[in-house]
Amino acid sequence: MKKIFALVLAALMLLALAACGRQDTTSPTGQADPNAATQATLDPSGTAPAFDMQTSEDKRIVNIGTVDKTLYAAPILVTSFGQSTDASTIDTALKRVGGTYSYLPQVAADAVGSYKTMIICVGASTKGLGQAGIDEKDEVARAEAIMAKAKETGAQVIFVHIGGETRRGALSDQLADLVLPQCSYMIVKEDANWDYKFTKYAEEHSLPLTLIFGQKDTVQVMSDLFSK
Amino acid sequence: MKKFAYLWKNALVLLAVLVFAIPASVDFLAMQKREPVAKNDYEVRMLSEYCEGLKDTPADTEIYVLDSGVPGGTFLIFGGTHPNETAGMLAAVSLVENMKPTAGRFFIIPWLNKSGFTHTSPLDGMQDFFDITLDDGSVRTFRVGNRLTNPVHQWPDRTYYEGTSGRKLVGTETAEIRNVNRMYYGDPDGVLTEKVCWGVYQLILKENVNLTMDMHEGSPEFLYLDCTMVNEKADNNTAMSIAQGMSLDMEFDDLTMRAEFSGMKSYGLSHRSLGDNTQSMMTLMETYNPSMGPLHGKMDDDLIINGNEPNYVEAYQRGLNYFKIDDSGYPLINRVARHITCIFYLAKNYTDAHPDRAMAFEGLGSYEEMVQKGLGGLLKPIK
């Protein structure tokens, strides 16, 4: 009798678990960013692939090559390719150093003709594209048109990639590859360089490159670049 | 005698029921008792002042108003949207008990889903209460609660529901009808949870709230941790710039706090629905809570307060967790201090962008100072 009773109780416990034991996996922030999810698989543990970082907590900024600051005349445009928050970080950094510039993350190609310097912040974000109401194809088309305009006007292009490793998805790389051939200076948060993509490119094309350890270092880099 | 045998049997059954029912009732009623808040210079209002339908319900909750007397902006801060996300509630209590506003007004709600604090999730291995020993030796007890409204207060969950949020609750999401952060902007004639949402919505509109922070925690598996979601729309799409200012200030203090765009399809969530339908800049912050994830081990005060869960350390070492977790854990005081520091810098950057709507406060110190004090020093004794 006792055995039967115990069996019934155990069966009831199992049923209770099946009915109520669901772990909720919905984030209070809503849907996960599919772009970020795929990017997270690049290095889920933070240990691989191992690469030699030149920057560190103690040496936060590493300059490779010499930047000709005289190239970067006003008017200056800050825009985003991929609509991540990185352009907004540059906007905030420039505000802190008292820069004069236009911050237009979704600017159209026909509105960039007058700018002599374009700071292009590359980093694709599904959430950012959604917020802006732009789909991926349109963003790539906008980027291509802006780069064509920059070629036509001779505007100087500064390539900025400060989203780190999580902004190295397929779309981010596609957008980066549009900008790199026309840029004269690169600023990269170094954990994005895990496959040496940016250091190799700078070396092969003799481009000055600044590696930074964290996003806060953009304040110092912008100050160095635009201070008189 | 045989005639009365059934009475004995019935009495025995009744006794057996009472043996279980009495302790269960004591346990249930203990969860109804609200935590006291130490004195500070505040005014107490109730959410029912903004949604009449909440009056005399278990979901009506206290709003602590701290006014600097200096004209400026209005900042609404709430914790306890999800009662099991402990740091948000404790950050709100710490703000209420310590804050000295120097510009603008602050509306603070520590236990937003008051009903959710009256039950817990035993099958997730959660416990009901945890104790914090203060510096003077006294002990304060707080409830853990459940992320959803108590079904005793709102039942049944509908098999299909579409509220004002635009979110269709069906299939695995039906229980979310009891989730405050899925039902914004609420409905004064809807279910109890929607009334809570409506109260917050009306508070934002009637008090002309400029900036809102909804404090959360997440299971360590999530991607959006040590992160603040921002609805860009406020003040002609300038909200992200303010949030990035906060993010950089945090980084200068060696603290990570990414700012991320609010998902366009996050229907019913505070940052999306309230940001789209009010004038307020809407933000939602997340820290990670090791006691919330499915991998957590034995649940006790140690795990809740010290936040060290070896299973998550191992998961990270095996490459199964994106968020870096080491054996130093993520103590509750660090998460509380991170929430408060984020709020401090949001207010600062909002004030820089809109000096006519200044909002500022003192009284809590820096992140490092708060961590050094510990929860025992940050929370005030109840007299």
pLDDT tens string A63-111: 999 999 999 999 999 999 999 999 999 999 999 899 899 999 999 999 9
Chain A residues whose CB is inside 8 A of the B264 CB are 127, 130-131, 133
Chain A residues whose CB is inside 8 A of the B241 CB are 88, 91-92, 95, 103
Q: Give the pTM.
A: 0.86
Q: Is it true that the peptide bond before B185 is cis, omega within 30 degrees of 0?
A: yes
Chain B residues whose CB is inside 8 A of the A92 CB are 241, 244-245, 248
Binned at pLDDT 50, 70 and 90, residue A24 comes out as very low
What pLDDT does residue B190 have? 96
Tell me chain B's radius of gyration from C-alpha atoms. Answer: 22
Q: Do B265 and A91 touch (CB under 8 A)?
A: no
Strand extents, DSSP E, chain A? 61-64, 76-81, 102-103, 117-122, 156-161, 183-189, 209-212
**pLDDT (average), residues A11-33:** 41
Q: Is it true that the peptide bond before B310 is cis, omega within 30 degrees of 0?
A: no
Please tell me the distance from the alpha carbon of residue B209 to that of residue B200, in angstroms, as a whole number: 10
Q: Do A33 and B245 touch (CB under 8 A)?
A: no
What pLDDT does residue B351 have? 96
DSSP structure string for A42-67: TSTTS-SS----S--SSS-EEEES--
What pLDDT does residue A191 have? 95
- Tell whether B154 lies on the interface with A, counting CB pairs under 8 A: no
Topology of domain B31-378 in CATH is Aminopeptidase (3.40.630)
pLDDT tens string A185-220: 999 999 999 999 999 999 999 999 999 999 999 999
Q: Are the C-beta atoms of residues B325 and B220 closer than 8 Å to each other?
A: yes
List the single residue in A45, A48, A216 with the smallest CB-CB distance to B316. A45
Please tell me the distance from the alpha carbon of residue B239 to that of residue B232, in angstroms, as a whole number: 5
Chain A residues whose CB is inside 8 A of the B316 CB are 45-46
Q: Is it true that the peptide bond before A75 is cis, omega within 30 degrees of 0?
A: yes
Nearest to A67 by CA among A220, A227, A224: A224
Residue B33 tokens, joined: 């008792």
What pLDDT does residue B236 have? 87
List the single residue in A21, A29, A133 with the smallest CB-CB distance to B284. A29
Chain B, 281-340: which have a CB under 8 Å from a chain A CB? 284, 286, 294, 316-322, 324
pLDDT tens string A153-177: 999 999 999 999 989 999 999 999 9
List the single residue in A95, A130, A214 with the smallest CB-CB distance to B251. A214
Token pair 């950089």: residue: B248
What is the 8-class DSSP label of residue A30? B
In this structure, the dihedral spanned by the alpha carbons of residues B147, B152, B156 and B160, taken in order and rounded to 10 degrees, is -20
Q: Are the C-beta atoms of residues B335 and B341 closer than 8 Å to each other?
A: no
**Could you give the 3-state DSSP secondary structure of residue A160?**
strand
Helices B239-252 & B332-353, crossing angle to 10 degrees? Answer: 130
List the single residue in B123, B262, B320 with the smallest CB-CB distance to A131. B262
Binned at pLDDT 50, 70 and 90, residue A28 comes out as very low
Q: Which run of H or E residues covers position A146?
A: helix A136-153
Q: Do A92 and B216 touch (CB under 8 A)?
A: no
What pLDDT does residue A73 have? 95
Tell me chain A's radius of gyration from C-alpha atoms. Answer: 23
Calculate how close chain B gets to A19, using CA atoms only, in Å.
10
- Compute the residue count for chain B: 383
What pLDDT does residue A33 have? 40
List the single residue in A28, A44, A96 with the smallest CB-CB distance to B82. A28
Q: Do B265 and A26 touch (CB under 8 A)?
A: no
- Catalogue all structural domains in chain A, each as residue range(s) with its CATH number: 74-221 (3.40.50)
Whole-number Cα distances in Å, A53 to A50, A56, A62, A163, A208 = 9, 7, 10, 16, 17
Please tell me the distance from the alpha carbon of residue B330 to that of residue B64, in angstroms, as a whole number: 28
- Give pLDDT < 70 ranges for chain B: 1-2
Nearest to A185 by CA among A201, A209, A152: A209
Q: Are the C-beta atoms of residues A122 and A160 closer than 8 Å to each other?
A: yes
Q: Do B244 and A92 touch (CB under 8 A)?
A: yes
Please tell me the distance from the alpha carbon of residue B217 to that of residue A28, in angstroms, as a whole number: 8
Binned at pLDDT 50, 70 and 90, residue A9 comes out as low
Nearest to A187 by CA among A159, A147, A168: A159
Token pair 């603070």: residue: B108
* CB proximity list for B201: less than 8 A, separation 6 or greater: B184, B185, B186, B274, B277, B278
ipTM tops the 0.85 cut: no
Residue in A closest to B242 by C-alpha: A92
Chain A residues whose CB is inside 8 A of the B248 CB are 89, 92-93, 96, 215-216, 219
What pLDDT does residue A5 have? 62
Angle at the Cα of B44 (from B42 to B48), degrees rounded to 5? 155
What's the whole-number average pLDDT of chain A?
Answer: 84
> Chain A to chain B, count of Cβ pairs less than 8 Å apart?
127
Amino acid in the structure at residue B298? K
Classify residue B155 by burial, with Cβ atoms within 10 Å: 0-12, 13-18, 19+.
exposed
Token pair 């070492």: residue: B317
Query: Which residues of A make CB contacts under 8 Å with B?
Result: 16-17, 20-33, 36-37, 40, 44-48, 83, 85, 88-89, 91-93, 95-96, 103, 125, 127-128, 130-131, 133, 214-216, 219
Token pair 């108590």: residue: B150
